[in-house]
Structure 1
Amino acid sequence: MSRYPDYLSANVTPTKGGKTQKSRARREPSGVFSLFQAPQIQQFKEAFQLIDHDKDGWVNESDLKEIFSSLGITASKQMLDDLLRARPGGTVRGYGDDAERGINFTMFLTMMSERLFEFDTEAELLEAFESFDENDSGMVKVEEMRKWLSEVGERMDQREIERLLKGPFTDRQGNFNYREWVKVLRVNEDK
Structure 2
Amino acid sequence: MSEGEKDKKARAERATSNVFTKLPQKLMQEMKEAFTMIDQNRDGLIDVSDLKEMYSSLGTVPSDTVLDGMVKEAPGNQLNFTAFLSIFSEKLSGTDPEETLRNAFAMFDADNTGHISEDYMKDLLENMGDNFSKDEIRQVWKEAPIHGGKVDYQAFVSKIKGKEQED
Return the TM-score normalized by structure 1: 0.44
Q: Greater relative contact order: 1 or 2 (C-alpha under 8 angstroms, separation 6 or more)?
A: 2
Q: Which structure features the higher share of helix residues?
A: 2
Q: For the pair shown, which has the larger CA radius of gyration, 1 or 2?
A: 1
